[in-house]
């Protein structure tokens, strides 16, 4: 057994390149899958900090009749079980001079629910004001909302309300605040009605102003009756959970029943733009993390099959020796399964260690571009996707490895001891078309024959390249879709930030493509070392020998990548529908060209990198392999 163990160590030593290649492919796959899996959970606590610190309401009751809320209404609401806090105030949107202003009027300084955070300046002093000397604070600006400076006087001309024309309204800005309910840069839909009472669409809030009711002139206090009640519940459920949604909906029905039918409409946090947008945004990330593993499983399994098959093929004579000496087949199987297990397990472990903590940090700017985040809280809640994917890749890889080993063990030691005879040469289809075949140079004819003579290698190489094309186009296509939606009112900012995530996907896809093609070319050179040595004996130069080998890979890669484009387009179309983001028609034709060139160029670069290996082939040693 000591001797057998030595052969295991020697196998790892002599096949370190194959081992590393398998580790890297699995590493990149699991790093992306695991990182995407934890993204929604890593940021949710950071996003919700603002809601919790601002004590945001669980329910907003809106008076839709216009009769307003009074103190007795607050008392009725307080009597409902689990209601712990209530506040009422006036909220309405007005279009003035082409801009839409949202007014909040209440005790803004002492709000218990939906607290304001003072960013700059001060709250207005409590004193009776006139139409000419009113004071207020303004919501801070973002990409889609404007603001004012502290000390600036805002004049709103021809202000009218409830049929009363109040003339010019002058407000001096004493401070800039942040409201926990406005936790995104996404535009806020205006809540206005036209002359016929229909809701005005495609209008968005430009400014948000806050005024203290006690500071208003008496006429304003009379006209601007409280329209909204904020309700805080004693909820034991987590935000974004089904239990929380069901609980809030139940309470909304209870609260609406306190008033006359159709008088009050209850809104949950799902009607809050930021809260709903974050849920929508993270659901798309979840869908991506659920969709991508399918292709990574296939690529990892395919590459592992190629590596193990060629490893065993190189050790045919060693296999024969084992069987001749009576080494149990279980021990032989263990040897190659160990190689597969260690390489895949190490790749999974490193992928989780790298992807889970690092990918969220890389993608954080994408979230910051859309939401008010409060840093990055590392979470292991979503790591299960990476763990389950690792287990799946490990099981699939071991299964294909076992199948490959058993296929060789069916042969007798005498057959295994002999080198596998080259396949008999025969005409390929192209040779039977003289006017196409004759003009082709001899060196290309030889390469084309070799490609189709090794049908198994052709299939495995083609599938690997096609898989790479699919992954790269998915990443680039996601970027195109993001760009196409940048000017969309609903998805604009989400699309901009999704572009960063798409670039991460492209980076991982290209990295996997490099490793796959490097592995294929490297193994092809190792397999053809005797053939290359023969060419050197016949007087071929190193460059000619390299072209002889690399030409086959380039032809296979170029044709496979071309075949892979329509397949990748079909997969991308399905992916966009599944994710719920964009459409295949948004993918530019240049992206298909870029995908093709990236894969083919990667093959060419890998060939250049591996040229020294061809040059290092020792013709004497290689020709003695079968002696």
For 281-349, the three-class secondary structure string (H helix, E strand, C coil) is: HHHHHHHHHHHCHHHHHHHHHHHHHHHHHHHHHHCHHHHHHHHHCCCCHHHHHHHHHHHHHHHHHHHHH
> Please, which residues have CB within 8 angstroms of residue 412's CB and are 6 or more apart in sequence?
323
| 544 and 467 assigned to the same domain | yes
What pLDDT digit, counting tens, does each position of 205-229 carry? 999 999 888 777 766 766 778 899 9
| 239 and 322 assigned to the same domain | no
The reported pLDDT for the residue numbered 486 is: 63
| 175 and 313 assigned to the same domain | no
Note whether residue 230 is domain-resident.
yes
What is the C-alpha separation between 15 and 2, in angstroms, rounded? Answer: 20
Residue corresponding to tokens 């969220």: 360
Residue 627: is its pLDDT beyond 50?
Answer: no
Note whether residue 284 is domain-resident.
no
Closest alpha carbon to 346 in 12, 6, 5: 12
The reported pLDDT for the residue numbered 254 is: 93
What six digits make up the tokens of 605?
Answer: 């670069």
Domain boundary (399, 421, 443) is at: 421
- Given pLDDT bands bounded at 50, 70 and 90, which one contains residue 622? low
Please check whether residue 190 is in contact with residue 98, taking contact to mean a CB–CB distance below 8 angstroms.
Answer: no
Q: How many domains does the chain have?
A: 3
The reported pLDDT for the residue numbered 490 is: 61
Q: Does residue 608 or residue 623 have the better pLDDT?
A: 608
Please check whether residue 619 is in contact with residue 530, taking contact to mean a CB–CB distance below 8 angstroms.
Answer: no
Strand partners, 170: 155
What pLDDT digit, counting tens, does each position of 31-59 carry? 888 888 888 788 888 888 888 888 899 99
Domain boundary (271, 305, 329) is at: 271
| 330 and 208 assigned to the same domain | no
70-to-63, 108, 227, 412 alpha-carbon distances in Å: 11, 17, 9, 94
Domain boundary (421, 440, 464) is at: 421
The reported pLDDT for the residue numbered 96 is: 86
Please check whether residue 288 is in contact with residue 474, taking contact to mean a CB–CB distance below 8 angstroms.
Answer: no
| 142 and 16 assigned to the same domain | no
| 179 and 149 assigned to the same domain | yes
Note whether residue 448 is domain-resident.
no
Closest alpha carbon to 285 in 47, 592, 569: 47
Note whether residue 102 is domain-resident.
yes
Residue corresponding to tokens 């909302």: 145
Q: What pTM was estimated for this model as a whole?
A: 0.76
Closest alpha carbon to 534 in 457, 596, 624: 624
The reported pLDDT for the residue numbered 295 is: 76
200-to-92, 193, 196, 208, 236 alpha-carbon distances in Å: 13, 5, 10, 18, 37
| 42 and 73 assigned to the same domain | no
| 460 and 505 assigned to the same domain | yes
Q: Which of 250-254, 407-411, 491-495, 556-560 has the highest mean pLDDT?
A: 250-254
| From 228-237, 502-511, 535-544, the region with the lowest mean pLDDT | 535-544
Q: What is the DSSP letter of 421?
A: P
Residue corresponding to tokens 């004497």: 620
What pLDDT digit, counting tens, does each position of 293-345 carry? 777 777 788 888 888 888 888 888 888 888 888 888 888 889 889 999 999 99
Note whether residue 446 is domain-resident.
no
Note whether residue 443 is domain-resident.
no
| 382 and 458 assigned to the same domain | no
The reported pLDDT for the residue numbered 130 is: 61
- Stretch 418-434: mean pLDDT: 67
Note whether residue 282 is domain-resident.
no
Strand partners, 233: 83
Please check whether residue 218 is in contact with residue 121, taking contact to mean a CB–CB distance below 8 angstroms.
Answer: no
> Please, which residues have CB within 8 angstroms of residue 383's CB and are 6 or more apart in sequence?
34, 37, 38, 352, 356
Task: Give the structural domain span for 606.
Answer: 454-627
Closest alpha carbon to 44 in 324, 219, 294, 275: 275
What is the C-alpha separation between 600 and 564, in angstroms, rounded? Answer: 12
| 28 and 61 assigned to the same domain | no
Please check whether residue 354 is in contact with residue 31, taking contact to mean a CB–CB distance below 8 angstroms.
Answer: yes
What pLDDT digit, counting tens, does each position of 570-599 carry? 988 888 888 777 788 888 899 999 999 988
Pairing of strands 164-179, 83-96: unpaired
| 336 and 410 assigned to the same domain | yes
Note whether residue 433 is domain-resident.
no
Please check whether residue 191 is in contact with residue 285, taking contact to mean a CB–CB distance below 8 angstroms.
Answer: no
Closest alpha carbon to 205 in 104, 61, 120, 57: 104
- Given pLDDT bands bounded at 50, 70 and 90, which one contains residue 503? confident
Please check whether residue 398 is in contact with residue 341, taking contact to mean a CB–CB distance below 8 angstroms.
Answer: yes
- Given pLDDT bands bounded at 50, 70 and 90, which one contains residue 247? very high
Q: What is the DSSP letter of 75?
A: H
Residue 438: is its pLDDT beyond 80?
Answer: no
Average pLDDT, the chain: 82
What is the C-alpha separation between 352 and 166, in angstroms, rounded? Answer: 64
- Stretch 107-119: mean pLDDT: 83
Q: Which of 397-406, 446-455, 561-570 has the highest mean pLDDT?
A: 561-570
What is the C-alpha separation between 20 and 565, in angstroms, rounded? Answer: 29
| 120 and 252 assigned to the same domain | yes
């Amino acid at each position: 057994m000591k001797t057998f163990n030595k052969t295991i160590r020697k196998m790892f030593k002599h096949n370190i390149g194959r081992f590393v290649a398998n580790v890297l492919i699995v590493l990149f796959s699991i790093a992306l899958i695991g990182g995407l899996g934890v993204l929604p959970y890593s940021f949710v606590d950071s996003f919700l900090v603002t809601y919790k610190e601002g004590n945001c309401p669980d329910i907003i009751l809106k008076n839709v009749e216009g009769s307003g809320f009074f103190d007795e209404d607050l008392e009725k609401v307080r009597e409902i079980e689990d209601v712990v806090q209530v506040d009422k105030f006036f909220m309405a949107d007005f279009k003035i001079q082409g801009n839409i202003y949202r007014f909040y009027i209440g005790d803004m300084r002492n709000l218990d629910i939906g607290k304001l955070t003072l960013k700059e300046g001060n709250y207005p002093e409590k004193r009776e004001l006139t139409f000419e000397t009113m004071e207020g604070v303004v919501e801070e600006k973002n990409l889609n909302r404007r603001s004012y400076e502290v000390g600036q006087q805002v004049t709103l001309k021809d202000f009218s309300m409830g049929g009363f024309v109040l003339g010019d309204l002058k407000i001096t800005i004493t401070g800039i605040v942040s409201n926990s309910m406005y936790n995104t840069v996404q535009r806020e839909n205006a809540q206005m009605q036209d002359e016929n009472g229909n809701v005005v669409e495609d209008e968005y809030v430009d400014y948000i102003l806050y005024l203290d009711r006690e500071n208003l002139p008496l006429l304003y206090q009379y006209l601007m009756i409280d329209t909204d009640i904020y309700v805080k519940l004693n909820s034991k459920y987590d935000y974004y959970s089904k239990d929380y949604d069901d609980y809030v909906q139940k309470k909304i029905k209870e609260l609406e029943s306190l008033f006359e039918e159709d008088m009050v409409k209850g809104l949950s946090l799902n009607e809050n733009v930021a809260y709903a947008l974050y849920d929508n945004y993270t659901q798309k990330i979840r869908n991506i993390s659920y969709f991508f593993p399918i292709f990574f499983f296939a690529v990892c399994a395919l590459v592992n099959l190629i590596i193990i098959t060629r490893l065993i093929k190189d050790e045919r004579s060693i296999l024969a020796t084992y069987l001749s000496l009576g080494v149990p087949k279980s021990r032989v199987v263990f040897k190659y399964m160990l190689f597969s297990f260690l390489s895949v397990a190490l790749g999974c472990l490193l992928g989780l260690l790298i992807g889970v903590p690092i990918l969220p940090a890389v993608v954080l700017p994408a979230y910051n571009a859309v939401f008010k985040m409060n840093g990055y809280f590392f979470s292991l809640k979503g790591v299960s996707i990476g763990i389950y994917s690792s287990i799946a890749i490990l099981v699939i890889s071991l299964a294909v490895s076992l199948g490959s080993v058993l296929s060789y063990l069916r042969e007798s030691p005498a057959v295994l001891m002999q080198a596998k005879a080259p396949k008999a040469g025969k005409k390929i289809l192209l040779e039977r078309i003289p006017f196409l075949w004759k003009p082709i140079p001899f060196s290309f004819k030889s390469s084309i024959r070799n490609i189709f003579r090794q049908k198994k290698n052709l299939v495995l190489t083609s599938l690997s390249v096609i898989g790479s094309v699919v992954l790269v186009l998915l990443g680039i296509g996601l970027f195109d879709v993001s760009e196409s939606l940048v000017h969309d009112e609903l998805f604009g900012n989400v699309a901009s930030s999704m572009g960063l995530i798409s670039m991460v996907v492209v980076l991982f896809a290209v990295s996997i493509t490099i490793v796959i093609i490097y592995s294929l070319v490297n193994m092809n050179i190792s397999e053809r070392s005797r053939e290359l040595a023969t060419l050197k004996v016949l007087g071929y130069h190193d460059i000619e020998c390299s072209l002889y080998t690399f030409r086959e890979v380039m032809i296979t890669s170029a044709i496979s990548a071309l075949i892979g484009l329509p397949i990748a387009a079909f997969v991308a179309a399905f992916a966009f529908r599944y994710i719920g983001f964009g459409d295949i028609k948004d993918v530019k034709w240049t992206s298909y060209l870029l995908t093709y060139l990236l894969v083919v160029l990667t093959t060419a670069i890998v060939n250049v990198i591996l040229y020294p290996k061809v040059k290092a082939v020792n013709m004497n040693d290689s020709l003695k392999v079968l002696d």
